[in-house]
Chains A and B, each alone.
Chain A
């Protein structure tokens, strides 16, 4: 059980604490012996006690590094469980829970956040009954399955030489199958197609083979047929890994050089880095340095994930494991960075990129007085998720707060969720926005991460604007093609591809403005396709666009936190919708309130909320004023919780509700 908790690892530890019981994993980390030594492994003397000298028995030729990639629910986690059991890495049949993809955000959006990485020892006894058959060290390097983390995925894949592409035998290829295939393909991985869930009555492996042939040019004879549920066909998986996936390249006698795959913060041990050793060997006590920051560290602990942290004192060329080196924050452990022997000049491994923030929103304390608490919570959280950018900002309506940049929408949601669940922070978040680029008459360009920061009537004339776009892949049963094409064109999409992947299913590819999919797109897509659509996207380039800043005004006063940037053609509709929503959620006050949406000085939508008629307690009985006083005090407290712009009180729900307004309708 505790083993499972430790396995719950995420890319960059983003979701680690949401569903996992942190205390459980902490215990496991502190007492690995107790948890592991109880059962003898078929391959090892005692599990958990893996010595450095044992690792020395696995030169690169005896190492395979691979990952499992799949569309959500196609059986990735279950297959991983089975492989870990098969190799005795985790205990079989002890009710190992299905521990991936249990996050609410994942379920809601149909994506995978978490990943697991584990080292297994395996002797191929199927090929020969010979007990001298060589033993292999297999590293299952899992990847998060969402575009927000595509950079992390690419780094994880960079440490692999092959991938198991798992496809549900009944559902066939879905959007994430395609996205994942291309990521793996571009990383030059050997791909082993695994058609899973063949035990299902509706399984149609031949159809899936056809799809794989048509879409990816995969030879049908390469596909393995499995049921991770019944165990059928599983015996062929690891032999195929050994046979079809090359061993890691790398020079054993060079100074150590390794790829930083992932990192997370542990309260007791500090930053724990997952690394793939590319060249040389890494030993406890070594001095290492980061290519990105130049900082040097001493290796305090090194080992493998088996699946818990298991100290070995050493990692050899091609092996994958963890390093603890006294880093204080995950900000020092940048994913994709190269760690290398200190004081030696090495070529950094290719592909390192700083985090790219695609979605921004303002985060404000829901109760104005809690700024310090929110500040503290954000600081703590970014300690574990260095990919969030945080800058202070202030708003006329919401006071002091933060502008945060996220890798994507899911990343933002997970961050919010963790702030609320782990730190009890009550936050108001402003409408998410994307980084737009505006060009002025004088040729200068600005990137706008906060719509309020763009002057409503700029002194300088705006001559051009650009917005980020994505390429979306949507797979649907063919009867839904019509409505989906409608939806995509409403969202300003440009069709790039429309093909049939088999007799019933179509694949659509669209270029869509990122802004159009960050609010409500997936839900709507699911809605119009009875839940059948699958959807994935990848970042694409900036495109020129006709964008305008829209202000929301209450009694003539702009509410900065409600400003948005919208496409000119949609401004009217979005403005109407925002204004109507606000009318519903702002309460009547003692004066009339006009709610307007405006572009520059031009009002495009307007509502008025008439003045309150009556709020009187015309009963004051027997001198017992305490109850009445309490009521008035309560009313006063209610007012205090409101956010005020000019003389208008805005309930916090109004801000929450605005987030739900689709900016694209």
Chain B
């Protein structure tokens, strides 16, 4: 039973709200060039980002059961777990305890990239359902991270929570140990849809959870997750979910478009585009409705699937989209350190063995570090997901002006048709005529156009097409 009322006492002082910025920081730190201001446009940047990571992802894989669309590395605990009272330490599931032990070993065995201690600015507890993990254990992980890498003065510490898995006390405890951002996995506001997805909660739990989160002292920054294009989802249902979301006034909203993955229950049951899944046209319509309704409600559509109130971008996710390095810990998690992307084993046994190797010093990166081409692909793929878009000047510096020019040429017809927006230094949209003038010779290139981005919603909706076109240029 979840209780809303709680003594408003906390053993830790409430955290400050996160610093508010007007817009996301420009994507200036990809590859390497920006850090070494001395690098000239012609000199190739070093093969890995010299910046030490200032973000860490921590995977907490436990769920009560697997949702029908989910193909993440998770551990299903069964229905008994998760309603554990926040102070019921005695009842801690040994699987969770064992896992956290492993995590702590991984943290301890991971060498910080920089010796002079660049502290972590963001920590993200993702899952799984991290809210199933007792706050005490979350605190232990945070402590370990702080000890190993340092935490900045006011880091963004996010945790994913599912309705029905926490009460006010538990949340308060989490906030008490340093969590200051919650991402609430609501997904839908319709009982039928939640059931059809195999979610472990109903609409009642959603409302209770929203109540707990909004009432929680010291927690201003929270996000709500929704999924569109669910089986049998109607436009009315979608409108309703968006309305309820706006009414709950989260600072951030993530809207995911259902992907049917192989090996999931949905993968066996449904074919994309075929009833009861919406057609591509209907599904595009859901996307457009979200964009419209959430913009009307004052949210910025700052990334393909992310909306926020001004200044409430998820700083942790910006790390990804800006192609900056990050640590990662835990089952199946992916890190990006020293220019190398590494995905940990997705099976517990193998992960445990891997941690052992890491401790023994017998593990070494087998994956080659990304080359220039890979890095350019990453930059384009990630930055074009954002409203900020691709910073051409910085891209030119890292990968050469002619590649930037080729990219722009490829996008020319789409600037004209409105799927792509070209912008000047002041981020004012350029008429396509001006854009084309800029492309006429390499010398002029960049005199007007400074950024390109995909338009909202039409360009975002075709991001795979547009980005794969760019891929064809970068890596023919």
Contact = CB atoms under 8 A, between A and B. Distances in A.
A617 B463 CA distance: 8
A496 interface: no
Given A590-B414, A624-B343, A618 B287 contact: yes
A622 interface: yes
Contacts of B284: 613-614
A587 to B, nearest CB: 10
B377 interface: yes
A621 B341 CA distance: 14
Interface stretch (A179-187, A557-565, A632-640): A632-640
A618 B304 CA distance: 6
B129 to A, nearest CB: 14
Contacts of A640: 472, 476
Contacts of B212: none
Interface string A604-628: 0000000011111111111111101
B72 interface: yes
B287 A620 contact: no
A621 B283 CA distance: 20
A367 B381 CA distance: 27
Nearest to B367: A626
Contacts of A639: 468-469, 472
B333 A616 contact: no
B464 A616 contact: yes
A616 B326 contact: no
B466 A590 contact: yes
Contact of B464 (A591, A613, A635): A635
Contacts, number: 114
Closest 5 CB pairs of A and B: A624-B334, A618-B257, A613-B284, A614-B284, A618-B305
A616 B257 contact: yes
B334 A615 contact: no
B463 A616 contact: yes
Interface string B431-468: 00000000000000000000000000000111111111
Interface in A92-111: none
A620 B464 contact: no
A653 B239 CA distance: 41
A31 interface: no
Contacts of B326: 623
B58 to A, nearest CB: 10
B381 A625 contact: yes
Given A591-B417, A624-B343, A629-B381, A619 B305 contact: yes
A625 B334 CA distance: 8
Interface in B47-65: 57, 59
Which secondary structure characterizes the binding site on chain A? Answer: loop
20 contacts: A590-B419, A590-B465, A613-B284, A615-B462, A616-B460, A616-B461, A616-B462, A619-B259, A619-B305, A620-B320, A621-B126, A623-B328, A623-B336, A626-B341, A628-B381, A629-B377, A631-B464, A635-B465, A639-B468, A647-B413
B328 A619 contact: no
B464 A632 contact: yes
A622 B328 contact: yes
Contacts of A614: 280-281, 283-284, 287, 461-462
B291 to A, nearest CB: 11
Contacts of B259: 617, 619
B385 interface: yes
A622 B305 contact: no
Given A590-B419, A616-B461, 9 more contacts: A614-B280, A614-B284, A614-B461, A615-B462, A622-B328, A623-B320, A623-B335, A632-B381, A640-B472
B472 A615 contact: no
A615 B460 CA distance: 9
Contacts of A625: 320, 334, 341, 378, 381-382
A622 B70 CA distance: 14
A557 to B, nearest CB: 14
A231 to B, nearest CB: 60
Given A621-B72, A622-B126, A636 B462 contact: no
Contacts of B255: 618
Contacts of B469: 636, 639
B461 A615 contact: yes
Contacts of B328: 622-623
B467 A632 contact: yes
A626 B343 contact: yes
A613 B414 CA distance: 14
Contacts of A622: 57, 59, 124, 126, 328, 333-334
Nearest to B471: A636
A636 B343 contact: no
Interface in B320-355: 320, 326, 328, 332-336, 341, 343
Contacts of B343: 624, 626
B475 interface: yes
A640 to B, nearest CB: 7
Contacts of A591: 413, 417
A636 B373 CA distance: 15
Contacts of B471: 632-633, 635-636
Nearest to B419: A590
A191 to B, nearest CB: 63
A613 B283 CA distance: 9
Contact of B465 (A615, A621, A628): A615
Contacts of A613: 280-281, 283-284, 461
* A613, A617, A629, most chain B CB atoms within 10 A: A613
A523 to B, nearest CB: 32
B99 interface: no
B416 to A, nearest CB: 10
Contacts of B476: 640
A350 B455 CA distance: 76
Contacts of B413: 591, 647
Contact of A617 (B283, B287, B417, B464): B464
A144 to B, nearest CB: 47
B161 to A, nearest CB: 16
A589 B468 CA distance: 13
A619 to B, nearest CB: 5
Contacts of A615: 461-465
A636 B287 contact: no
Contact of B475 (A620, A626, A636): A636
Contacts of A620: 304-305, 320, 385
Nearest to A613: B284
B38 to A, nearest CB: 29
A648 B414 CA distance: 14
A214 B252 CA distance: 93
Contacts of B467: 632
Contacts of B124: 622
A626 B475 CA distance: 16
A629 B468 CA distance: 9
Contacts of B460: 616
A631 B381 CA distance: 11
A591 B378 CA distance: 26
Contacts of B280: 612-614
Contacts of A617: 257, 259, 463-464
Contact of A619 (B126, B257, B332, B335): B257
Given A618-B304, A619-B257, A636 B472 contact: yes
A640 B475 CA distance: 11
Contacts of A612: 280, 462, 465
A614 B336 CA distance: 30
A41 to B, nearest CB: 65
Interface string B252-277: 00011101000000000000000000
Contacts of B335: 623
Interface in B94-129: 124, 126
A624 B463 CA distance: 18
A616 B280 CA distance: 10
Contacts of A618: 255-257, 287, 304-305
A614 B417 CA distance: 15
A50 B381 CA distance: 76
Interface in A544-593: 589-591
